[in-house]
Structure formats: structure tokens, C-alpha cells
């Protein structure tokens, strides 16, 4: 259990209570048992992007309200310079740079995602509401969606229903990087 997980769990709990949603109802909306959900609020379980995205949608907040406790403030324009962005590293094989973290009332969540190679048997599929567009910037990766597997290379793109379980895995022993735009 890290301090970051504990802080995120506390914010999640506080936001849920503000919305007057019980832990049991929240767990049901997220498709898990109340005990599994409680582990997130207690900071005992690491958060996937899908979990955070789904929880933010249910609570009516931006994903960064849960991750950092800071609400986006800009509504006309936000500029993120090359290599910048809000770093989110929630799972071992994935790191994200949020590219619109200061913009409020977003209709989409843009990220630069870096995926590390890992053993295929350890791939876990996740899903979240909405649709997603991914554009390969570098490297090669396998894209798992439902029962299908596609190999993507630099310049390839995929647009999909993100409610269908999906995952990515870098190939050739090297990281893969892509632009991901998640539409709510």
C-alpha cells in the first residue's frame, strides 16, 4: 500500500459520499463486489485506467479530481508542450501522459500511452464506457479486443467501442507508444 494509493482511495471515498452513493451501489455500478470496491477506497488495490475512468463518470468528476485532487480550470484552450502532460502510472506495463488535464468539461480524454512488453499470459482485459481512438506513434504492439487480436505498427490506428474488454502489449522486447483519445 503506497501513500498515493491511500490518497486516491480517500478522494474516491469523499467524492462518493458527496454524491450520496453507498459503497454497495458504487461497487454494483463498477461491476464488482462491495469487498473488492472497499479495497480501492482503503488504498489496498492499485487502480487501472478503466476503473478510474468509470468511477469518474459515475461521480460526475474529471479523472484528475480522483488522481490528484485538482480540478481542471480552463475552458477555452489548454496547451501542453512536447514531453509534458500529467503523468499517470497506474499499472506496471502502462504509463500515461494526460494531454488535456487542465481543461474542464472535456468531451474526450487524450493521452500519450507507453506500453511495456510483458508475458502474454499476464494480460488483463479492461473495459470502460465510451469509444476510443488509438494511433501508433512508435514500436509494435498487440491489441486485444474481445476475442480478436491485431498487431499494430507505427502509423496504424484503431477506433473501437471501449466497453468491449481490451488490452495492449508491446512486442519485440521494446516499448510501444500511441496516442489514445477516450470519448465519453
pLDDT (0 to 100) of residue 146: 95
The answer to whether the beta carbons of residues 133 and 152 sit under 8 Å apart is no
- For range 53-69, the mean pLDDT: 88
Q: Are 32 and 83 within 8 A, CB to CB?
A: no
pTM of the model: 0.76
Query: Which of helix, strand or coil describes residue 162?
Result: coil
Extended beta strands in the chain, E state: 86-91, 94-98, 108-115, 131-138, 140-145, 148-153, 157-161, 166-170, 176-183
- With a CB cutoff of 8 Å and minimum separation 6, the contacts of 71 are 61, 62, 64, 65, 104
Domain with CATH 2.60.120.10 in the chain: 86-183
Query: pLDDT confidence of 101, banded at 50, 70, 90?
Result: confident
Name residue 7's beta-bridge partners: none
Mean pLDDT, range 166-184, rounded to an integer: 94
| CATH superfamily ID and name for 3-67 | lambda repressor-like DNA-binding domains (1.10.260.40)
SS3 of residue 12 by DSSP: helix
Name the fold adopted by 86-183: Jelly Rolls (2.60.120)
Which residues partner with 96 through β-bridges? 88, 113
Which residues lie closer than 8 Å to 91 by C-beta, 6 or more apart?
Answer: 46, 48, 49
pLDDT above 70 as % of the chain: 97
Residues of the chain within CATH 1.10.260.40 domain(s) are 3-67
Give residue 92's pLDDT band: very low, low, confident or very high (50, 70, 90). Answer: low
What's the pLDDT at 17?
92
State the Cα torsion 108-166-156-77 to the nearest 10°. Answer: 10
- Do 100 and 109 touch, CB atoms closer than 8 A? yes
> Residue 47 pLDDT > 90, yes or no?
no
Amino acid at each position: 500500500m503506497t501513500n498515493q494509493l491511500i490518497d486516491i482511495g480517500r478522494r474516491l471515498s469523499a467524492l462518493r459520499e458527496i454524491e450520496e452513493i453507498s459503497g454497495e451501489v458504487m461497487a454494483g455500478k463498477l461491476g464488482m463486489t462491495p469487498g473488492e470496491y472497499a479495497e480501492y477506497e482503503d488504498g489496498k488495490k492499485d487502480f487501472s485506467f478503466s476503473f478510474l475512468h468509470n468511477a469518474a463518470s459515475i461521480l460526475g468528476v474529471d479523472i484528475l479530481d480522483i488522481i490528484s485532487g485538482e480540478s481542471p480550470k480552463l475552458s477555452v484552450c489548454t496547451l501542453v508542450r512536447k514531453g509534458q502532460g500529467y503523468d499517470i502510472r497506474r499499472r506496471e506495463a502502462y504509463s500515461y501522459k494526460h494531454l488535456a488535464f487542465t481543461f474542464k468539461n472535456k468531451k474526450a480524454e487524450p493521452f500519450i500511452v507507453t506500453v511495456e512488453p510483458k508475458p502474454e499470459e499476464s494480460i488483463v482485459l479492461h473495459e470502460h464506457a465510451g469509444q476510443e481512438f488509438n494511433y501508433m506513434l512508435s514500436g509494435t504492439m498487440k491489441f486485444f479486443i474481445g476475442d480478436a487480436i491485431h498487431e499494430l505498427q507505427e502509423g496504424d490506428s484503431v477506433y473501437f467501442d471501449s466497453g468491449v474488454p481490451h488490452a495492449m502489449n508491446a512486442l519485440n522486447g521494446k516499448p510501444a507508444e500511441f496516442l489514445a483519445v477516450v470519448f465519453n
